[in-house]
Structure 1
Amino acid sequence: MGEPLRGQAAVDQLLEVLDLKQIDAATFQGESPQVGAQRVFGGQVAGQALVAAGRTVDPARLVHSLHGYFVRAGDPTVPIDFHVESIRDGRSFSVRRCTAQQHGRAIFLMSASFQLTEEGLDHHGPAPEVPAPEDVPTMADWLERYPDRAAAFAASPQAVDVRYINSPGWVQPGDRDPAVHQRVWMRIDGRLPDDPLIHACALTYASDLSLLDSVLSIHGEVWGPGGVIGASLDHALWMHRPFRADEWFLYDQTSPSAGGGRGLAVGRMFTRDGRHIASAVQEGLLRRIGG
């Protein structure tokens, strides 16, 4: 297996994936990277749905929240059609509903709200004290320790630089301690255009990469053989302050509850200077392999 596509080349491919073809005023079409995956990555379809919704809104109105449901597994070998419904355009807010479809059936549903920039009350809690991204292992460092996992990463472009302060969810329980918080530094691993919508879509993409790890970390469980398989059921994201997704942000993730074969995960994102830029909540289906 060859080396994964990294850096700006991987970011450029991500931008191609997010650059939807417009069919008509309310319909867009997107492709998936041909990397041999059996299903479409949830962050990809969510990011593409946000692109579609955002292209029907005045660019002066910035997305501040989205709520999505993953209805069916996406087929990466065929295009995805995105149909946008305009729910409301008020004086300050615009609301859109987007349905992603393949083979005539919905695979993802999303509502998103956009707002004109306003001044108002402003506060947020402090960011956790953690090592700087330069002081924690890179993904390449982890794969040197666990070469059996390298093939899975080589199969997909690595557009996001992900640096775990704890350990990835695929590290065997005997090699790590259970942790209440899963903390990860992330950034898009190249330069993005200045368009705020692109940064919001890139952040949406990245927000789905590690959030459910926090459910496993509490229990000392592991993804894959001998552990758990999972899938995102729904995903919500709120953007609080301006940011660039191609600059480091800390993703502080934890799980308040798991039960009934599902796990709930909550994440907060902070810039290096401690600004709280976004919050995410996700519920996932988690099943023991062979169970």
Structure 2
Amino acid sequence: MLEVTKKLVELLDLSPIGDDHFQGDSEDLGFPNVFGGQVLGQALMAASRTVEGRLCHSLHAYFLRPGNHSMPIDYEVQRVRDGGSFSVRRVIARQDGKEILTGSMSFQGEEPGFEHQFDMPDAPEPESLKSEQELGRILAPHVPERFRETLTRDRPIEIRPVDPVNPLQPEKRPPQRQSWLRAQGPLPEDPVLHRCLLTYASDFHFLATSMQPHGLTFTSKNMQVASLDHAIWFHRDFRMDEWLLYDKDSPSTSGGRGFNRGNFYNRDGVLVASTTQEALIRKRS
């Protein structure tokens, strides 16, 4: 496991601070606020620590306030129900006594059942694509110096975009994006960790899908952009240290909000997880 990946695994390894209460550190990725995927991944880890013999199959969360990446985050888990087949947990994430995220997670034991899925869409092989870090090195000489470290930093999750957007010269495109991703280096045999890492990674480049038809990016002037909510459904087992295709689209943008959907496929074409997110996309006057 690479050192940068080890740090991410440690970031998700929360400290217990009381009955069903946990605390996690924050990381600075160069964004104004704490990365939403970090809060989601830690919230899922907190909930998972209170369930035995069952894995998360769905997560629904709302971002309430921007998080501060210079402060730790406290997670309170509420045991809503433990039924014969499912367990439900509610999680509240707080900083400085204020709620920044609330979510619910449902857990289920392994169970056979009917099977069907969408076919995996066409996509170039990941080996044929440049990584985000490589693309950042190409872009770095053309951006202000304060942004260069963010563009070229080592990443625990390697992302290789298909047909990447140039943030300095965005153009209007259909609301569809694809990228391959995987953790850097081998990971332990822990299905909870793999789910938490996918949850973390699922927030990268997601809401930007709904900005593409309008020729906008995070660097566009006078834009207020933020994730409002996030949902994940885990369908089948997977490994985050193997390539996964993240196929995303945005059916609608209206009322200052962009709606996004995504599917994760492994290299064998197996659909392993699905995501949705609504985001604030507001043009400041």
TM-score (norm. length: structure 2): 0.93
Within a 5 Å distance, the mapping from 1:86-105 to structure 2 comes to: 86-105=79-98
Give 1:168 deviation, angstroms. Answer: 3.8
1:10 to 1:105, Cα distance in 2 relative to 1, 3 A: same
Secondary structure of 1:106's match?
strand
Alignment match, 1:83: 76
Counterpart in 1 of 2:7?
Answer: 13
**1:54 maps onto 2:52 in alignment:** no
Task: Give the aligned partner of residue 33 of structure 1.
Answer: 27
Kept in 1: contact 2:175–2:251 (CA 8 A): no
Give how far 1:163 is off: 0.7
- Show structure 1 runs of 4+ deviating over 3 A: 34-38, 225-229
Gaps of 5+ in 1: 1-6
One-letter amino acid of the counterpart of residue 13, structure 2: D
- 1:42 maps to what in 2? 36
CA offsets per residue over residues 34-89 of structure 1, 9 Å max, x none? 5664311000001000000000000x201100000000011122211100000010
In structure 2, what is the equivalent of residue 143 of structure 1?
136
Q: Is structure 2 residue 71 aligned with structure 1 residue 71?
A: no
Q: Is residue 231–residue 275 contact of structure 2 (8 Å, CA) maintained in 1?
A: yes
Q: In the aligned structure 1, how far is the partner of 2:111 from the partner of 2:204?
A: 31
* More divergent stretch after superposition (212-221 vs 121-130): 212-221
Q: CA deviation at 1:181?
A: 1.4
Aligned residue for 1:120, secondary structure, equals coil
Partner of residue 265 from structure 2, selected from 253, 261, 270: 270
Partner in structure 1 of residue 188 of structure 2: 193
Asked if the contact 1:66–1:110 (Cα under 8 Å) also holds between the matched residues in 2, the reply is: yes
* Residues 126, 274 of structure 1: 8 Å contact kept: yes
Q: CA–CA distance in 2 between the matches of 1:250 and 1:75?
A: 30
Please, which of 233, 241, 244 is the counterpart of residue 249 of structure 1? 244
Quickly say closer, same or farther: Cα 1:122–1:263, change in 2 above 3 A: same
| More deviation, 161-170/65-74 | 161-170
The verdict on how the C-alpha distance between 1:227 and 1:129 changes in structure 2, with shifts beyond 3 A counting, is: farther
TM-score after normalising by structure 1: 0.91
The change in CA–CA distance for 1:227 and 1:165 in structure 2 (over 3 A counts) is: farther
Counterpart for residue 155 of structure 2: 158
Q: Per-residue deviation at 1:270?
A: 0.5
1:230 partner SS: strand
Contact in 2 for aligned 1:169/1:216 (Cα 8 Å): no
* Percent identity between the two aligned chains: 43
CA drift at 1:166: 2.0
**1:227 deviation in Å?**
6.7
SS in 1 for 2:46: helix
1:100-134: CA deviation from partner (whole Å, max 9, x where unpaired): 01111100001000000000001101001110001
The answer to whether the Cα contact below 8 Å between 1:127 and 1:270 also exists between their aligned partners in 2 is: yes
User: Are the aligned partners of 1:42 and 1:208 in contact in 2 as well (CA < 8 Å)?
Assistant: yes
SS of aligned partner of 2:228: strand
- Give the counterpart letter for 1:202 in structure 2: L
Q: Residue by residue, what CA displacement relative to the aligned partner does 1:11-40 show, whole Å, maximum 9, x if unpaired?
A: 111011101000122100011125664311
